[in-house]
Structure 1
Amino acid sequence: MSVKPPRPPFDPELEAVLAALADQFPVGMTAEMIPQLRASDVRALTDEQLAADDLTRRDVTIPGYGGDAITVSVIARRDHRGAGPGIFHTHGGGMVTGDRFAALGQCVPWVLEHDAVLVTVEYRLAPEHPDPYPVEDCYAGLLWTAGHAAELGIDPARLIIAGPSAGGGLAAGTALLARDRKGPELAGQVLMCPMLDDRNLTTSSYQFDGVGVWDRGSNLMGWTALLGDRRGTEDVSVYAAPARATDLSGLPPTFIDVGSAEVFRDEDVAFATGLWRDGGEAELHVWPGGFHGFDMTAPHTAVAQAAVAARNAWVARILES
């Protein structure tokens, strides 16, 4: 677009949070900032926090893409018994940062409330490990989870995949791989403000350039790290960029939420539309004035609490059905 289009406003409560946290969220992230971004990562969920909720954690080394070793962590209630729901988690971080504990606070309530077992995967990051490493590592983790369901205490008929941002894109790509490779079966996918489209041609991609938490420039950086010179060309698979999929049939029931005031809005709405077009089941929420990841950054706000409540209600319906 030659002229930057007008953008919808931020929710007033959220705009105040953005202003207060401006120094912590640099706009227009570049590849040169990746080491700094990684250095600033802190363990999002500590063993002390897990113990306070009476949760256990164990780490397992499993084969990732190409047979290389990767790590998954298994988190469950200390009193877990029998076969209950399972959650496979793919973390966010723009494809370039984060670890398997990032944003787990979104999923831990599902473990507590539904006696679910959560497996979260340490997939390898770009640019050191470009596509297909991240999505193939995630698929390897899903295969391991389904293959060890009995010993993990997971009912394979109640296994869902969930991820935010880049992890939402990887969850969608992993679900497409599972469909096309004939398993594992998934009971649902939870795509939280997912990063789906490397082309960056939507109106919302242009609207949020130089503003917000994850803007157009940051998004171009993340996709370039993952795809290199292939970004925006025809040489990109649907597993790397699920928005490119022209056939979304045969996918599990899907929950998608996104803010109206963020880069990913239009690609996420289009993905939900594609699911409906191809006969799928999807629940879509576009939260007015929400910036990227607002529910994690500003959980005290009214719109964040409404978003979390809607998401938790959908997960409860899937896991308890």
Structure 2
Amino acid sequence: MSARPAAVAGPLPVLYYLHGGGMTLELAVVSVEYRPAPHAQYPGPVEDCYAGLVRVAEHAAGLGVDAYRIVIGGKSAGGGLAAALALLTRDRGGGAGTDRAAAPVPDARRPRRHRLQPPDAGLGIWDRTSNATAWQALLGDRYGAADLPPYAAPARATDLSGLPPAHIEVGSAETFRDEDVAYANAIWQAGGQAELHVWPGAFHGFDGFAPQAALSRDARDARSAWLRRILARPGAGPADC
């Protein structure tokens, strides 16, 4: 499914969004209907996302979009898929997608306890039980394995070099907080660019549940500002892929 602003002509940057919606900027939006778990286990969902991304890039002219200004984005499971898709695209030689926005970046290890993190104790809309159930549905017999590839669990990646700029955001009161912070730090240590936001007191999906809250508005503004900056970079082209 794709959409673009009706009053804007010419090739537009495109937000390749992995479930959850789009943003109100002058860009086209492609929403990916990847196969969900448990009907499709890893690597089905991420391969679906990769196939769709390649198709968008190959048919950019017909879609009226710019193949060198593709932003991969998503929230919740879509954020993990966005991170995995950036890694997969890099390792398969690029050619599609110059930028990405990803949040959160999940890890498939069995749940760990974190001090000062209420969702880990069973609170919130996405607690440790929900997280474990989802990972079991996606990974099946691979759940808890030590040798999962990074395309299954991006937080397992040991090489984060050569990735495009990233926008990572997470609530301070949600299960993925520590993993997201660690992932942003790993990108910096690899010499990459990452903008990290940890929204104080926020829970998983806070901006969808309370879209008019001040914190939700701040998060949307920060997200939109990053998109504007990254898409306005001069000289975007094949070398950025």
Residue 184 of structure 1 deviates from its aligned partner by 2.8
Task: For residue 206 of structure 1, report the CA deviation from its aligned partner.
Answer: 6.6
Provide closer, same or farther for how the CA distance between residues 147 and 202 of structure 1 changes in structure 2, counting only shifts above 3 A: farther
Secondary structure of the residue that 1:189 maps to in structure 2? strand
Amino acid at match of 2:39: E
Q: Point out the structure with max Rg over C-alpha.
A: 1
Deviation at 1:236, TM superposition (A): 1.5
Task: Tell me the equivalent position of 1:87.
Answer: 15
Question: TM-score of the superposition, structure 1-length normalised?
Answer: 0.69
Residues 1:212 and 2:124 aligned together = yes
Unaligned runs of 5+ in 2: 234-241
Structure 2 counterparts to residues 260-299 of structure 1, below 5 A: 260-299=172-211
Residues 152-201 of structure 1 show CA distances to partners (whole Å, capped at 9, x for unaligned) of 11112211100001000001101101000012342211113x14201133
Residue 196 of structure 1: aligned partner: 106
For the aligned residue pairs, the C-alpha RMSD in angstroms reads: 1.5
Change (3 A) 1:302 1:256: same
Deviation per CA, 1:57-83, whole angstroms, max 9, x where unpaired? xxxxxxxxxxxxxxxx11112233211
CA distance in 2: counterparts of 1:249 and 1:293, whole angstroms:
29
Where do 4+ consecutive residues of structure 1 move more than 3 Å? 204-207
Matches within 5 A, 1:72-221: 73-91=1-19, 103-104=20-21, 107-110=22-25, 114=26, 116-192=27-103, 194-199=104-109, 200-201=111-112, 203=114, 207-208=118-119, 209-221=121-133
- Between the aligned partners of 1:312 and 1:214, the Cα distance in structure 2 is 25
Give structure 1 stretches of 5+ with no counterpart. Answer: 1-72, 92-102
How much does 1:205 deviate? 10
Aligned mates of 1:129, 1:186 — CA distance in 2 = 25
The answer to whether the Cα contact below 8 Å between 1:204 and 1:263 also exists between their aligned partners in 2 is no
Distance change (3 Å), C-alpha of 1:284 and 1:140: same
Aligned-partner Cα distance in 1 for 2:101–2:9: 25
Aligned to 2:146: 234
Per-residue CA deviations over 1:213-242 (Å, capped at 9, x if unaligned) read: 101100000000000121121241100100
Could you tell me how far apart the structure 1 residues matched to 2:117 and 2:229 are? 36
What is the alpha-carbon distance in structure 2 between the residues aligned to residue 80 and residue 204 of structure 1? Answer: 49
Contact in 2 for aligned 1:204/1:264 (Cα 8 Å):
no
Structure 2 length-normalised TM: 0.91
What SS is found at the alignment partner of 1:218?
A: helix
Cα distance change, pair 174–205 in 1 and its aligned pair in 2 (3 A): farther
Secondary structure, aligned partner of 1:109: coil
Aligned pairs, number: 231
Identity across matched positions, percent: 52
One-letter amino acid of the structure 1 residue matched with residue 72 of structure 2? I
